[in-house]
Amino acid sequence: MEHVVFIHGLWMLGVDMTLLRKRVKDCGFKVHQFSYSTVRKSPQQSAVELQAYIQKIESERLHFVAHSLGGLVVRHLFHLYPEQRAGYVVTLGTPHHGSKVAEQLSHSVLGRLILGKSIQQGLLGDAPEWNASNPLGVIAGVGRMGIGRMLAPLEGANDGTVAVSEAELATAADSLTVASSHMGLIYNKAVAKQVCIFLKYGHFSRCS
């Protein structure tokens, strides 16, 4: 059985991904949840902890499913420790090119306090390049409902917090948009189905 590690997003603890983990488990995978401090530690520091966490998992193949900020932690992981096991990576609503919402918040003292160290080589668009051999699949939401719309203007299609243009990544193996809000990505049944498909085949399905 192949193993999948889930990495949650900003201000979350991991319990929010319970339903997604169950759906992926039902697809035949062994699931694990990595939890980390999203504001007290930078994505790079969290990647070091993630490496220690996955070293305890005995599996020839290891996949990653990351929501939002979690995808940036994974990018740091593969940058710091490029000799990873074979496997696929899926990011859900990850602002690979930085977050305009986070940038807007970072202009104020309160905003910087709320974001903490998540903006250090992370949400402001300065995460390491993705050059890993592990195929990466990008899922972006187009729900347009989210608190982010009240904090900063989002151009084009977006999930209410992250714009599709922020979530896309040129070096990704495949990408897909789903009608969903930012948080809805981890609860959406169609998203879970696409995650399972990518983890099995390395690409998404365009079939209805």
For residues 206 and 64, the model is more confident at 64
pLDDT at 149 over 70: no
pTM > 0.85: yes
Q: State the average pLDDT over residues 56-65.
A: 97
Residue 28 belongs to a domain? yes
- Cα–Cα distance measured from residue 176 to residue 140, given in angstroms and rounded to the nearest whole number: 6
Residue 66 belongs to a domain? yes
The single-letter code of the amino acid at 3 is H
Put residue 14 in one of left, alpha, beta given phi > 0 → left and psi -120 to 50 → alpha. left
CB neighbour burial string for 55-79, b if at least 16 within 10 angstroms, e if fewer: eeeebeebbbbbbbbbbbbbbbbbb
Put residue 108 in one of left, alpha, beta given phi > 0 → left and psi -120 to 50 → alpha. beta
The single-letter code of the amino acid at 65 is V
- Cα–Cα distance measured from residue 71 to residue 21, given in angstroms and rounded to the nearest whole number: 16
CATH of the domain at 141: 3.40.50.1820
Query: Domains in the chain: how many in total?
Result: 1
Residue 74 belongs to a domain? yes
What's the token pair of residue 159?
């999930």
Q: Which domain holds residue 173?
A: 3-125+132-201
pLDDT at 147 over 60: no
Residues 88-101: tens digit of each pLDDT: 999 999 999 999 89
Residue 67 belongs to a domain? yes
- Cα–Cα distance measured from residue 95 to residue 138, given in angstroms and rounded to the nearest whole number: 10
- Cα–Cα distance measured from residue 130 to residue 192, given in angstroms and rounded to the nearest whole number: 23
Q: State the average pLDDT over residues 126-150.
A: 83
Residue 208 belongs to a domain? no
Residue 206 belongs to a domain? no
Residue 191 belongs to a domain? yes
Give CA torsion, residues 58, 64, 67, 68, to 10 deg: 110
